[in-house]
Structure 1
Amino acid sequence: MTKHVDQNEIGQTVSSASEYLRGRLKALQELDTYFQRDAILDCANFESQAPTIVTSLVKDMVRAKALESLGPHLVIDSGWSPNDFLMRQLLLGQGIYSGPTALYLWGLSDQYPYQVYMTFKSGYRLPQKLHAKWAVNVVARQVTQQKLGEFVSEIPVDGTQKQIQVYSRERTLVEVLRKPYSGDTEMINTAYKRYLKDYRSGVNQLLLVAQEFNMGERVSELLEVML
Structure 2
Amino acid sequence: MDEIWKEIEDIATENGGFIKTSQIEKIGISRQKIKKYVDEGALEVIKKGLYAIANDVPDEYVKIQMQSTKVIFSYGAALFLWDMSDRVPHQIDVTVPQGTNMTRIKNRNENLRFHYVTKDLYEVGITQTTSPQGGTVWLYDKERCICDLIRDKEKTEMQLYSQAIKEYFKGKPNYRKLLKYGKMFDIEDKIRTYMEVLT
TM-score normalised by structure 2 residue count: 0.76
User: Hey, what does 1:222 align to over in structure 2?
Assistant: 194
Provide Cα deviations, 1:163-219, integer angstroms capped at 9, x if missing partner: 322111110111111126555443222112212333x15333323322332222211
1:194 is aligned, of 167, 170, 185, to: 167
The 5 Å alignment of 1:87-126 reads 87-126=63-102
Give the root-mean-square deviation of aligned CA atoms.
3.3
1:145 is aligned, of 113, 119, 134, to: 119
User: Hey, what does 1:212 align to over in structure 2?
Assistant: 184
Higher Rg: 1
User: Aligned equivalents of 2:137 and 2:97: distance in 1?
Assistant: 17
The secondary structure found in structure 2 opposite 1:109 is coil
Q: 1:188 to 1:145 in 2, by over 3 A?
A: same
The secondary structure found in structure 1 opposite 2:129 is strand
The secondary structure found in structure 2 opposite 1:125 is coil
Provide Cα deviations, 1:55-111, integer angstroms capped at 9, x if missing partner: 455445546765433344221134642232322232344221212222122111123
**2:92 maps to amino acid:** V
User: Aligned equivalents of 2:40 and 2:133: distance in 1?
Assistant: 21
User: Hey, what does 1:173 align to over in structure 2?
Assistant: 146
**1:213 maps to amino acid:** F
Query: Are the aligned partners of 2:61 and 2:131 in contact in 1 as well (CA < 8 Å)?
Result: no
1:76 is aligned, of 52, 60, 73, to: 52
**1:85 maps to amino acid:** Y
User: Aligned equivalents of 2:132 and 2:75: distance in 1?
Assistant: 23
User: Aligned equivalents of 1:119 and 1:85: distance in 2?
Assistant: 14
Query: Are the aligned partners of 1:96 and 1:120 in contact in 2 as well (CA < 8 Å)?
Result: yes
User: Aligned equivalents of 2:77 and 2:9: distance in 1?
Assistant: 35
Larger deviation, residues 165-174 vs 209-218: 209-218
| Ranges in structure 1 where 5+ consecutive residues have no aligned partner | 1-24
The secondary structure found in structure 2 opposite 1:70 is strand
Q: Does 1:130 align with 2:107?
A: yes
User: Aligned equivalents of 1:214 and 1:50: distance in 2?
Assistant: 54
Query: Are the aligned partners of 2:44 and 2:54 in contact in 1 as well (CA < 8 Å)?
Result: yes
Cα offset for 1:158? 7.0
The secondary structure found in structure 2 opposite 1:219 is helix
Query: Are the aligned partners of 2:81 and 2:131 in contact in 1 as well (CA < 8 Å)?
Result: no
The 5 Å alignment of 1:46-65 reads 46=23, 49=26, 53=29, 55-56=31-32, 58-59=34-35, 61-62=37-38
Q: 1:92 to 1:70 in 2, by over 3 A?
A: same
2:175 is aligned, of 203, 209, 212, to: 203
